[in-house]
């Protein structure tokens, strides 16, 4: 189990940030991802692996009129 935005979320072996975004259906482009307190740049989403017990914040910014 991991925590995503403060809520429990099932973990799977080899889960990347990119895959987590897909699993969560997070399609919004303006995201800030923080893994265990460390900001992850968007070009690192594919290569960054989430481990069991990790805490991920996926902050959606805002857009639109």
Partner 1 sequence: MNRLEMKTAHKLVGTFNYQLGQLEKGYANRTLYINLSTNGFAEKPVTELMKQKFIGGRGFGLKLLWDGIQGHTQWNDPENELIISPGPIGGITQYPGAGKSYVVALSPLTQSAMDSNAGGHFGPFLKFSGWDALEIQGKAERDVIVFIDGTKGTVTIEEAPLEAVNSHILVEQLTDMYAESEADKGTISVVAAGEAAEHTLIGLLNFSFYDARRKAVRVKQAGRGGMGTVFRDKHIKALVIKSPKVRGDLNNPADMSALKKAGQKIHEEIRTLDDSQCRMRKVGTAHLTQIMNDYDLLPVRNYKFGSHPEATKIADDVFLAKYFHLNGHDECWYGCSLACAKVVKSFQLKTGPYQGKEVLVDGPEYETTSAAGSVLGIFDPEFVIETNFYCDTYGVDALSFGTATAFVMECYENGVIDDRVTGGLKLNFGNAEAALELLHRMAKGEGFGKMAGLGIRRMKKLFAEQYGANPDFLQDIGMEVKGLEFSEYVTKESLAQQGGYGLANKGAQHDEAWLIFMDMVNHEIPTFEDKAEALFYYPMFRTWFSLNGLCKLPWNDIVPADNHLTAEPAKVPEHVHNYVEIYNGVTGANIDDKGLISQSEVVYNFQRVFNVRMGFGTREYDQVPYRAVGPVTVEEYESRQDRYDAQLKDILNLDPEGKTTAEKVQILRNYREEQYRKLCDAVYLRRGWDANGIPTIKTLERLGIDFPEVAAVVKKKMTQG
Residues forming the site for partner 1 (CB under 8 A): 5-7, 25-30, 32-34, 39-42, 57-65
| Beta-strand relationship, 31-35 and 38-40 | antiparallel
* Closest CB to partner 1 among residues 10, 27: 27
H helical segments located in 1-65: 17-24
Which of 14, 29 has the CB closer to partner 1? 29
State in angstroms the smallest separation of the CB of 38 from partner 1: 10
Question: Which residue number, 14 or 65, has a Cβ lying nearer to partner 1?
Answer: 65
Is there a contact between 33 and 40 (Cβ–Cβ < 8 Å)?
A: yes
């Amino acid at each position: 189990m991991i925590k995503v935005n403060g809520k429990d979320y099932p973990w799977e072996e080899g889960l990347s940030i990119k895959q987590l975004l897909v699993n969560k259906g997070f399609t919004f482009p303006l995201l800030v991802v923080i893994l265990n307190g460390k900001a992850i740049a968007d070009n690192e989403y594919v290569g960054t692996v989430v481990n069991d017990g990790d805490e991920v914040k996926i902050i959606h910014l805002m857009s639109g009129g």
